[in-house]
Amino acid sequence: MAKLKKHWRKWVLVGILMDCVVLLFSHRLFGTANVTVSTAELVERLDGSRLDADGSANGIFTVGGNLTLAPGGSITCRAPESAGGPCAVRLAVGGNLEMLPASAIVSGREAGAGGRVEIAVGGNFRMRGPRSQARGALISASDGNTSNGGAIAIYAVGAVTTEPGSAIASDARADGGEIAITAAATDIRGAVSARATTAAGRPGAVALASTGEPPAPRS
């Protein structure tokens, strides 16, 4: 726990910055249109499209209302960032974000490394576990080659809930990526993994931070 606690200030600052993104692109400015993704989509095609609430290709896919990833729906990336690094997936959701079974958010491996995944949610965020033959929801910035995993940052104004059988992963053959989850409340029952899959690598730090008030003691 000491290793996680020393990172909490960094993740709170990340959360504050991402909160600004949510407020800037919230439904109060861009309406309350909900979006459902039911097929494989590239974030660079969604960004600036008719589904993008801010209408600008600014590197962030913005949804003013709720975003639902249906079974078989995924958001991935292909284009490397302008600095030449691996591609990144950045989402700002004014309402709730729900990932149903067999849905995924996955960064690519351009330039040999897992890219960043950054998610800011103005409401609640939930990842569903397996149903029937469908696997649980997945967020991944893992790298299967010889480089590092990408960082995953999730910030929600409300609660973050991950069901058993869902997974958040940034594993890599070199160093695992850092994973930070910041929310008013968290109920993390799915897998969270930032492993180094070789002896030469190091695992990434995993940090959970709560922005809400602790529950009142029961009498």
Task: Write down the pLDDT at residue 8.
Answer: 45
Task: Write down the pLDDT at residue 86.
Answer: 83
Asked if residue 215 is part of any domain, the answer here is no
DSSP line for 35-57:
EEE-SEEEHHHHTTSTT-TT---
Asked if residue 12 is part of any domain, the answer here is yes
Positive or negative torsion for Cα 91, 191, 189, 203 = negative
Positive or negative torsion for Cα 28, 31, 32, 34 = negative
How large a percentage of the chain has pLDDT more than 90?
Answer: 53
Give the pLDDT confidence of 10-42 residue by residue, as tens digits. 544 454 455 455 555 555 555 568 999 999 999
Phi, psi of 200 (to 5 degrees): -80, -20
Asked if residue 216 is part of any domain, the answer here is no
Of 31-40, 82-91, 168-177, 190-199, which range is least confident?
A: 82-91
Nearest CA-CA partner of 18 in 120, 156, 95, 117? 120
Q: Quote the CA–CA distance of 14 and 127 in Å, as a whole number.
A: 21
Asked if residue 218 is part of any domain, the answer here is no
Asked if residue 199 is part of any domain, the answer here is yes
Q: Are 69 and 40 in contact (CB under 8 A)?
A: no
Domain that residue 39 falls in: 2-210
Tell me the whole-structure pTM to 2 decimals: 0.84
Task: Write down the pLDDT at residue 2.
Answer: 37
Nearest CA-CA partner of 35 in 19, 47, 20, 17? 47
Task: Write down the pLDDT at residue 173.
Answer: 85
Asked if residue 10 is part of any domain, the answer here is yes
CA angle 86–201–76, rounded 5-degree value = 25
State the total domains in the chain: 1
The gap between the terminal CA atoms of the chain, to the nearest Å, is 29
Q: Quote the CA–CA distance of 219 and 217 in Å, as a whole number.
A: 6
